Amino acid sequence: MAKGEPKNRSGERRSEPRTLTEGLYSVEINLGGSIPIYQFKLRDISANGACILVKNDSSILNYLKVGQVLNMKYYSTDRSNPTEFLASEIRHITKAEPGRFEGHYLVGVLVLERQRSS
């Protein structure tokens, strides 16, 4: 592991197409306990799916692992729609290449199942 990289990083990159999270704007990740709740804007950076952009020094990187499934709270682009809790898998955690997103990790998410919140 290179100096300054967070624990639990995998060299895994996108290996298959993922379902886009069309109509969703941001995601809230609540890992419980004394860990802060994090909110990120969803980004559709590639044709293969959605990801969140996380700063290299963000403590959330110490808690996320490739293959981990979390129940994440998604916010819609349409404010009249309720939020949704969606079982989502962390597909990859990739250090951004120099350029626009340098200094960040791209964390790919795959929505596994939908269940409307009340």
Q: Which amino acid is at 68?
A: Q
Collapsed DSSP state (helix, strand, coil) of residue 60: helix
Q: Which long-range contacts (CB under 8 A, 24 or more apart) does 114-117 make?
A: 114/84, 114/86, 115/84, 115/85, 115/86, 115/87, 116/82, 116/84, 117/73, 117/82, 117/83, 117/84, 117/85
Q: Which fold has domain 24-116?
A: Thrombin, subunit H (2.40.10)
Q: State the pLDDT at residue 44.
A: 82
- Residue 41: burial class (beta carbons within 10 Å; 0-12, 13-18, 19+): exposed
Which pTM was predicted? 0.75
| Domain boundaries defined on the chain | 24-116
Q: State the pLDDT at residue 48.
A: 58
What is the mean pLDDT for each group of 10 consecutive residues in the chain (118 residues)? 46 44 86 93 76 95 96 89 89 91 93 62
CA neighbor of 91 nearest in space, from 17, 6, 2, 5: 17
Helices and strands, counts by H and E, the chain: 0, 6
